[in-house]
Structure formats: C-alpha cells, structure tokens
C-alpha cells in the first residue's frame, strides 16, 4: 500500500511540474523554454536508443527529471532485455499489469507472447506440455485468432526441423526481434508517445523544407545538411520541397541573391552574387577568379542573371 501511495504521489508531482511548465510558456523567457524543450526531446531520443545512463545524466544536470519519463523507460527496458534473452515471463507480467488498457486498445501482444511460448515448448520437444499450455492459454483466443492458432498448432506435427516455409518461419530466432518491436509499439501507444522519436519528427519537418533534387547530386555544398549521409537517410521517405520561386545563395558570401543583390554569371557558367564579385573586382583590378575552378575573367565579361 505504501509503495503504491508513493508511486501515485510521484505521478501527481510530475503532472503538476508539467502543467506548471506549460503555464510558463506564455509568461517566461522563450529562449529558456525552448532550450528546456530541446533537452526533453534529446532525453526522449536517448531513452529510445537505449542510452539510459546518458539520458539520466542530462535530465539531472538540466533539472528536468519531473519532465521526462526515465523510470517508465527503465521498466520497459527490463521487458525488452528479457525478450532479447528469450524470456517471456516479464513481458507477460507487464501485460497483466496493464491488462485493461491493452484490452481497450485491442492489443495482440499477450497473444503473440503466448504463441511464442507454445513454439518454444514444441522446439524443446515437450509436446504434451505444449498441448496443455495451448488448452489453458491459447484456446480463449480461438474466437478472434483461429487462423493463427491453427497454424501454430500444426507445429506439433511439423516440428522445428521442418523445411515447410509457413511453419519453419515460426521457429526462426528473428521472431523474438518481432516481439521486441511489437512490445515497443504497444508501450508507446499505452503512454501516448509517438512511434518515432520526437527528434526524428522535428528533423524531418525541417528537412522537408530543404530537400531538393540538387541535394542528392555530387556537388551538393557541404553547408547543406542533406550533404550528410545520416540526414539523407532520414529524408528518404520525405517529399521534395515545393519551391514556387527560385532561391539562389551565393557560394562565396552565403547570402541570398535577389533583386538587391542580383546574380552574375561567369563565362564558365558558375553564378555568384554581385556583392561578392564587386568586392573581388575592387581588390584585383577588375579581375574575377572563380573560386571553384580558378579561372580568371574580366569583370566586363560577367552577365547579369534574372531569377524567375
């Protein structure tokens, strides 16, 4: 009783801290609030990537322990570790603790765990024990999952050495990886979390505005985030940015080229801003050196370009 009361008090404390944080959004320093928000997003990402100690350290040094869910992720870690060690019991215990909420969301996790436990009994050649287990734990699911039950019960005949693909796959070790993925999905859903890390979601939102076909060419400038393989992979499923008007950035000054700072075209085809080339011409007696190719031209050879 005391342990339950302490846990409930802790949850109330966290809810109060988060409500206070939201209330401070309109009254406090925007910069400080955004910094705190970024740290929460980073902690969320670290927890999902299993960097638990690093996440805890960042939360502690930033004073945001009540604004993140480290203990919840640590509970999930115990289940994930057990599944990776091919142990079902902790995952089943988690399902029992959250039975009502899992039932409301029509979760199949417990059923899949029971199926795997049945398969492991068959793998160990404990046929009688597997039959008894099936009658006790799998039969209640017959009304909603008959096809899956028929398939898994057939393993009593085909065994783990079968080459028959529909049944052979049930004995593959990657079934445990599938259970880990299924547990993570149910865990995120149960606690109202996004399936993807928040950091990925925010990065993808920004990359959508930056992604153009030019980003995937060999001469993509290093200043472009999409010149990096990690960002390119993250942007793969995203649509290209819809640019209704061309926007050119000077390679030399990194400033936008527009009507106030129009682009000038060199005879070799490269384009730079008027501001950059004017400064270069003043320093070099009217000579322009292309920073990409090293070719030298007279300023009078440049042609003004028009942006549409």
Backbone phi, psi, residue 304, to 5°: -75, 135
Q: What residue ranges do the domains of the chain occupy?
A: 2-68, 77-190, 198-235, 248-304
Q: Could you read off the pLDDT of 153-197 as tens digits, one per residue?
A: 999 998 888 899 999 999 999 999 999 999 999 999 999 899 999
Q: Which helix (H) or strand (E) holds 97?
A: helix 89-97
pTM: 0.72
pLDDT for the residue numbered 74: 94
Q: Could you read off the pLDDT of 62-93 as tens digits, one per residue?
A: 988 888 889 999 999 999 999 999 999 999 99
Dist. CA 113–CA 88, nearest whole Å: 7
**CA count, 13 A, side-chain hemisphere, 60:** 6
CATH T-level fold of 248-304: Herpes Virus-1 (3.30.40)
């Amino acid at each position: 009783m005391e342990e339950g009361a302490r846990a409930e008090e802790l949850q109330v404390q966290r809810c109060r801290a988060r409500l206070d944080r939201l209330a401070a959004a309109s009254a406090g320093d925007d910069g400080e609030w955004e910094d705190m928000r970024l740290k929460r997003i980073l902690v969320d990402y670290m927890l999902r990537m299993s960097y638990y100690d690093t996440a805890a350290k960042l939360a502690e040094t930033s004073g945001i322990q009540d604004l993140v869910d480290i203990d919840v992720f640590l509970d999930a870690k115990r289940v994930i570790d057990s599944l990776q060690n091919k142990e079902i019991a902790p995952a089943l215990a988690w399902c029992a603790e959250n039975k009502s909420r899992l039932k409301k969301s029509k979760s199949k996790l417990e059923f899949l765990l029971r199926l795997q436990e049945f398969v492991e009994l068959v793998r160990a050649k404990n046929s009688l024990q597997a039959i008894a287990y099936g009658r006790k734990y799998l039969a209640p699911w017959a009304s909603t999952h008959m096809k899956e039950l028929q398939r898994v019960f057939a393993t009593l005949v085909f065994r783990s050495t079968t080459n028959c693909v529909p049944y052979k796959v049930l004995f593959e070790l990657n079934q445990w990886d599938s259970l880990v993925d299924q547990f993570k999905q149910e865990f995120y859903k149960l606690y109202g979390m996004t399936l993807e890390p928040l950091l990925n979601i925010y990065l993808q939102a920004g990359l959508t505005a930056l992604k153009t076909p030019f980003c995937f060419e060999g001469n993509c400038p290093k200043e472009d985030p999409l010149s990096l393989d990690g960002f390119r992979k993250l942007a793969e499923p995203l649509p290209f940015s819809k640019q209704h008007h061309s926007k050119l950035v000077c390679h030399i000054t990194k400033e936008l080229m527009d009507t106030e700072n129009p682009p000038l075209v060199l005879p070799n085809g490269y384009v730079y801003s008027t501001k950059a080339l004017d400064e270069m011409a003043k320093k070099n007696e009217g000579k322009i050196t292309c920073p990409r190719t090293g070719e030298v031209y007279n300023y009078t050879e440049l042609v003004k370009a028009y942006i549409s």
